[in-house]
């Protein structure tokens, strides 16, 4: 039987990226040996965004906890606020934009995990 693992984000250093955002990878093959998914936390800072990109085979879920923003696809813009959960299937271009004056914070999940989350 696999051993339970606990990660405390407060003990981890986030990875700062440009445009201004910070991301923590909490669960992945690299961090705990997970094989089928990855979970993390993102703070997209005021004026920042997660640039446009797509995932060829990964499903993605984002649950927004604080701040304001928009999830932009090729066909629509979805307003983001605390409590919004977005399921993003593989293949579509998308970006996340912070439209507010405080951090846009969300939990993200990929299944399967991205190649960069693997050892």
CATH superfamily of 16-117: Jelly Rolls (2.60.120.10)
Residue 20 burial by Cβ neighbours in a 10 Å radius (0-12, 13-18, 19+): middle
Could you tell me the pTM of the whole model? 0.94
- Per-domain boundaries in the chain: 16-117
55 touches 90 (CB < 8 A): yes
CA distance 18 to 92: 22
Residue from 98, 105, 111 nearest 72 by CA: 98
CA distance 24 to 22: 7
Which SS3 state, helix, strand or coil, does residue 8 take?
coil
Q: Which pLDDT tens digit goes with each residue over 16-58?
A: 999 999 999 999 999 999 999 999 999 999 999 999 999 999 9
Q: Which pLDDT tens digit goes with each residue over 63-109?
A: 999 999 999 999 999 999 999 999 999 999 999 999 999 999 999 99
Q: With bands split at pLDDT 50, 70 and 90, how would you rate the model's confidence at 1? A: low
């Amino acid at each position: 039987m696999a051993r339970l693992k606990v990660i405390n984000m407060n003990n981890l250093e986030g990875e700062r990226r440009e445009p201004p955002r910070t991301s923590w990878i909490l669960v992945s093959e690299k961090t705990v040996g997970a094989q089928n998914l990855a979970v993390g936390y993102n703070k997209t800072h005021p004026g920042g965004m997660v640039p446009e990109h797509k995932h060829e085979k990964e499903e993605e879920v984002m649950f927004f906890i604080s701040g304001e923003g928009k999830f932009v696809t090729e066909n629509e813009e979805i307003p983001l606020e605390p409590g919004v959960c977005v399921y993003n299937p593989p293949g579509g271009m998308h970006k996340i934009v912070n439209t507010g004056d405080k951090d846009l914070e969300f939990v993200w999940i990929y299944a399967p995990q991205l190649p960069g989350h693997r050892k």
